[in-house]
Amino acid sequence: MVKVLVVGYGVIGQRLADGVALQKDMELVGVVDAAVTLSTRSLKEKGMPYKLYAAFPEAKEKFEAAGIPVSGLLTDVLNDVDIVLDATTGGVGAKNKALYAQHGKKAIFQGGEKNEVADVFFHGYANYEKGLGADFLKLTSCNTTGLIRAVDCLDRKVGIEKVAITIVRRVADPGDYHRGLTNALQVDKAPSHQALDLMTIMPHVDATGILVHTPVTHGHFITVVATPKKDISAEEVIAAFKEHDRIRVVRLEDGFLGNASIFKYARDLGRPRGDLYEICVWEDTVVKSGKDVMFGIHIPQESVTIPESIDGIRAALEMQTDRLEAVETTNKYLGLGAWK
């Protein structure tokens, strides 16, 4: 049984812990955090389903003062694990890397870290093989993760020559206040990093894109214009997406009118926190323009990277050397594809 530690129990860390706990061939040893937050307070109120370790002695004192049980320090538990999922704030993971290396532990970092922190910039479907046996992996961002899922799906069907994307980016996660209250759209300089990141993972695809920040919280929206190497009909594109266990095909006529509809549906399904691991593609947006194919994607930003993070564990520890066997195992334990 592979032993996993999650460092950073925030938006992503909570979801990583839950995702790992569902894997029948992995053991979640515990979670690590550095501050008394709503996340760690809720951990206590839920009866401490996961052991909590403090990032450093001062943090341990603060947890104990708040009545939150602590099982020890990060340095105490590192010797008991095989791999670390680092979900700390951007920049902290890079500092933690030296500690992981000192203890001889592999680690997987989230999209907020710079690429230089890792040996491999990783995506479970698109370049699983490159992560095999690696000591340090870095995940793509939420938008890039979902974008690559869709582009890789079509690329393996007919080959993709190039893509152009427009991202309508949610400005903050639900519950965040640090970005303030706004009534504006903010445009970033093109090309967006998501397009550049896609080319790092899939260098044979030419990609560019525009990003617009918008004052919503429940998900990003991406339009994709893809140029296939072989002609493919809109119906064939939809069929390809429906085969993919991390892609849901939804329709306007069924009530999926936008990001809020999808978030509501996830809550109605009883998904914890209203999370979806899957991206959603609107069937109604899949159209042809000459040879090009256009479609629209919903990205559930808080949870979309969890499956690929678990794929990273499988690759780094060589639990499965075959890409499809690895992702299918992750999918099975997360319940992905069960709706089909």
DSSP string spanning 161-185?
A: EEEEEEEEEESS-TT--TT------
Please check if 135 is assigned to a binding site.
Answer: no
Let me know how long the chain is: 340
In this predicted structure, what is the pLDDT of residue 215?
87
Q: Is residue 234 packed enough to be buried (19+ CB in 10 Å), middle (13-18) or exposed (0-12)?
A: middle
- CA neighbours closer than 13 Å in the CB half-sphere of residue 297: 29
Domain residue ranges in the chain: 2-140+305-334, 142-299
Q: How far is CA 123 from CA 63, 87, 131, 322, in A?
A: 35, 16, 9, 14
The continuous run of DSSP H or E covering 281 comes out as strand 279-282
**What is the distance between the alpha carbons of residues 339 and 329, in angstroms, rounded to a whole number?**
17
Given this structure, which CATH class describes domain 2-140+305-334? alpha beta
What pLDDT shows up at residue 175?
Answer: 72
* pLDDT (0 to 100) of residue 200: 96
Q: Can you name the residues that pair with 249 across neighbouring β-strands?
A: 281
Q: Is 280 a catalytic residue?
A: no
Indicate which residue of 54, 87, 142, 153 is catalytic.
Answer: 142
Beta-carbon contacts of residue 49 (< 8 Å; ≥ 6 apart): 21, 43
- Could you please state the CATH topology (level 3) that the domain comprising 142-299 is classified under: Dihydrodipicolinate Reductase; domain 2 (3.30.360)
| Strands 206-214, 186-187: pairing kind | antiparallel
pLDDT tens, the chain, 340 aa long: 999 999 999 999 999 999 999 999 999 999 999 999 999 999 999 999 999 999 999 999 999 999 999 999 999 999 999 999 999 998 999 999 999 999 999 999 999 899 999 999 999 999 999 999 999 999 999 999 999 999 999 999 999 999 999 999 887 777 766 777 677 888 999 999 999 999 999 999 999 999 999 888 888 999 999 999 999 999 999 999 999 999 999 999 999 999 999 999 999 999 999 999 999 999 999 999 999 999 999 999 999 999 999 999 999 999 999 999 999 999 999 999 987 7
Cis peptide preceding 69, ω within 30 of 0: no
Report if pTM > 0.85: yes
